Structure 1
């Protein structure tokens, strides 16, 4: 008898990456909210900080990126 093979995916081939993205986004949002609350900021200021961080992270991966003088 052969031992049963371990499952390849926890949820499914598509579900695993989506689950990971959801958990990562929730963890980041929780960390940002905690940091803003510790700094004494209001909910509105917290949302502004979240939006600012999101925009800055997206700007690094934009299609107009230039590296070594060449457009990517």
Structure 2
């Protein structure tokens, strides 16, 4: 997973530096990450935004399923 994330980030950095579109390698890597981990449908929040915390009302309208994770 780390290798895929690093490859996707490298493609984004190159795109940002040149102002061009992400290359096919970057798109392929992002598709692979999404296939494996559902990255296109996942949001990670922590701290006061989590359920039962002081600012939970900010993220609550997003709905979905809450699970513990490691960053």
For the criterion TM > 0.5, the same-fold answer is no
Q: Looking at CA atoms only, which structure, 1 or 2, has the larger radius of gyration?
A: 1
- Normalised TM-score (structure 1): 0.31
- Normalised TM-score (structure 2): 0.31
Structure with the larger strand share: 1
